[in-house]
Amino acid sequence: MTRIRVRLSVLGVVLLGLLLAASVAAQSPAASPAASAAAPAISAQFLGGGEPAIAPAYELTLRRITLPPGTGIVPHTHPGALVIYIESGIWNYTSLSGTGRVTRATQPGASPAPAEDLAVNVELVLTAGDVLYVEDPGDTVSNMGDEDVVLLVAGLTRVGEKFTTLIQDPPMASPSPAS
C-alpha cells in the first residue's frame, strides 16, 4: 500500500512538472484576426504521451485544450487521474463526481497556496496559474470570460480508454436534509 502511494505521489509530481514545463516552453501563438462566421469551436491538441514503466497498462498524455469565450462542455467524465493547469483565461469548473483538489496561483516568489478539496456541485472560478488535480472526474466546464481559456491537461489513464465520455442523463443534486 505504501509503495502504491509513493508511486502515485511520484507520478503526481511528474505530471505537475510536465504541465509547468510545457506552460513555459510552449506558448501558444495569438489567435488569427481573420475569424470565420461559424460559432467558435473548442479545440484539443494532443502534445505527447507514453506508457510509463512505473504504471503498467496506463498511458500518460498531455493535451492543450482551448475554449473560446461563450463555449463549454456539457456534463462528462474522464477515466483515471488528471492534472489541469490553467494557462490563461477565466474558467468555470463544476465537479459532479470523483475527488480532487485545487491549488490557487500565487504571486511570483510567494509560497504555494495550500490545496483545497473540491466540493461536488459547487462551481469554481479558476484563473491563470491555478492547478486542479482530479481522479475519475465527472464535471461540466465553461468559459464565461472575454478571452480564450487555455488548459494544459496531463492525464494518467488506462491504455486505449476513451479520454472523455459525455454523461447522457446527469445526476440531479440531492436536496439538503431539512434542519
pLDDT of 20-45, one tens digit each?
A: 333 333 333 344 444 445 668 999 99
Kindly state the cell numbers that stand for 31: 489567435
Q: Is 16 helix (H, G, I), strand (E, B) or coil?
A: helix
Residue 15 in grid coordinates = 505530471
Which grid coordinates belong to 93?
469548473
CA distances 101 to 29, 124, 149, 169, Å, are 30, 11, 20, 25
The domain segmentation of the chain, as residue ranges, is 2-27+42-166
The CA-CA-CA angle for residues 74, 21, 9, to 5°, reads 75
Residue 66's pLDDT is 97
Q: Does domain 2-27+42-166 have CATH number 2.60.120.10?
A: yes
| DSSP letter (8 states) at residue 160 | T
The whole-number pLDDT of residue 39 equals: 65
Per-residue pLDDT of the chain (179 residues; tens, 9 = 90+): 444 333 433 334 333 333 333 333 333 334 444 444 566 899 999 999 999 999 999 999 999 999 999 999 999 999 899 999 999 999 999 999 999 999 999 877 778 789 999 999 999 999 999 999 999 999 999 999 999 999 999 999 999 999 898 987 655 554 545 44
3 state DSSP class of 47: strand
Name the residue with cell 503498467: 56
- pTM, rounded to two decimals: 0.73
- pLDDT for position 2: 40
Alpha-carbon distance of 152 to 19, in angstroms, equals: 6
**Burial (0-12, 13-18, 19+ Cβ within 10 Å), 179:** exposed
The type of residue at 4 is: I
What is d(CA 65, CA 178) in angstroms, rounded to the nearest whole number?
41
Query: What sign does the dihedral 115-64-141-8 (CA atoms) show?
Result: negative
